[in-house]
Amino acid sequence: MRKLLFTVLLLTMAPLSANATFIDAHSPVHFGTFSSAGPGRAQGIVADSDFSVSGIGIYGDLVSQSFDIVVYSSTDGHSAGAILATASDIVGGTGMGWNDIALDFDFIMGNFYVVNWRPTVPNANWGIIEYYRDNILPHTVGPLTLLEGFEGYNAQNADNFLHPRLRYITAVSVPQPEIFGLFLLGLFGFGLLRRKHS
């Protein structure tokens, strides 16, 4: 009986699983899919509510190499300021699809940011990516509003009319159904044992 009680207690302390949710950020107007992405492609955004990410990805067919995600502060979403966070990883070489880099970062409501995807070693031919038009921005997607598209290794050029398709990966803790099923089974067994002894 003590063993069963101990098992039930362990089940109640079992960790929650983290299921990722994705914020697919781009304007509604698709421009096309092209190579020659330049030394970097970025989005200027404002956070409409607090949200945290565990990674950021770009949609495209990338040449396998090291890439950076760089998050800059901004006063208005139309120019990049100081670097707030950066992460690097080798991605690409898998065909057209999402390429994600792990990055833990908290976006704060009301703050402006520029989020840049670039090759770690500057080069202009790092793959084929999807482009969307800036001319209907601002455009709200979930907890953020897109304001601007950028080109450049340091997101220095906002004088273009396109932005990349990025996704912001958030983690939401949810209980695993099997954990609660085992917990209920343990409680049922514990109840049966108590009935037998009384």
Task: List the domains of the chain with CATH numbers.
Answer: 17-176 (2.60.120.820)
| Alpha carbons 58 and 39: distance in angstroms, whole number | 14
Residue 11: the pLDDT is 46
Please write the tens of the pLDDT for every residue from 67-97. 999 999 999 999 999 999 999 999 999 999 9
| Alpha carbons 75 and 67: distance in angstroms, whole number | 26
Q: Is the pLDDT of residue 17 over 60?
A: no
Is the full-model pTM beyond 0.75?
A: yes
Please write the tens of the pLDDT for every residue from 117-141. 999 999 988 999 999 999 999 999 9
User: Which amino acid would we find at residue 165?
Assistant: R
